[in-house]
Amino acid sequence: MNLQAIANIATSLALFVSAGVFCWQILSHSRKVKYERSRFHLDSAIGGFDKAIGLLSDGNNDRIIWNSAARILQLSETISKRITHQDHLDVFAVALETYRNQLSAILGYRNLSKGAAFFYGSNNHNEDIDHAAQNSVKNINDGHMEYSEVTEMDEAALYTLWRAAQFPEDYKDPLFQRFPEEILQRVTKRLMWPGLFAFLLHKRKTENKVT
């Protein structure tokens, strides 16, 4: 093989390597762009949820504020659907666990003190529901004009907030593993956590009786 042939082969190899490096750089840049875009959507969605919940966390029942919070939440949910990187999806899933609990509490989950009158905009949250409904529309004359002020919550806003507090139908609960029997029978564990292990052993004993 003469020197010219060797030179041609070396040139071809150099071009091949250069093309490979160039393609790798393009692929790497594309992955970085996708990662950064996903991270931006993650931060934006979390920021929106925090903002929406922050507007309602003081216990107010102001129709305008609730509508604003619901709109922010709706837009944040839309943004969250653009999260693509798995790490970011996992982080958002963790955040949703907290958001669901917070929204449920805001909407009065198992809270008898937050009666129907609250959602009619009444300052007395246990006011008679018919009276609260009647007072939810006020005719106001400020000396310049007459207008009606509605204080009851917008149902669309309430549904948006309530829906965000629910687990999706296809939700996969990460909690699925129970205590292995071998751990339950270890005396040292039962001595260190007596109440916990007494509960678990009693529960297993009850289950066995049923089956």
Buried/exposed 143-167: b ≥16 CB within 10 Å, e otherwise: eeeeeeeebbbeeebeebbbebbee
Task: Confirm if 75 and 163 have CB atoms less than 8 A apart.
Answer: no
Confidence (pLDDT) at 175: 86
The confidence score (pLDDT) of residue 2 equals: 57
Q: What is the pLDDT of residue 102?
A: 97
- Rounded CA-CA distance 7/13 in Å is 10
Which tens digit of pLDDT belongs to each residue from 69-126?
A: 999 999 999 999 999 999 999 999 999 999 999 999 999 998 988 999 999 999 888 8
Rounded Cα gap, residues 194 and 75, in angstroms:
49
Residue 149: what are its φ and ψ, rounded to 5°? Answer: -115, 125
User: In this predicted structure, what is the pLDDT of residue 24?
Assistant: 60
Predicted local distance difference test score (pLDDT) of residue 168: 86
| pLDDT given for residue 116 in this prediction | 93
Phi and psi (nearest 5°) for 138? -115, 135
The ranges of the chain with pLDDT < 70 are 1-30, 139-147, 210-211
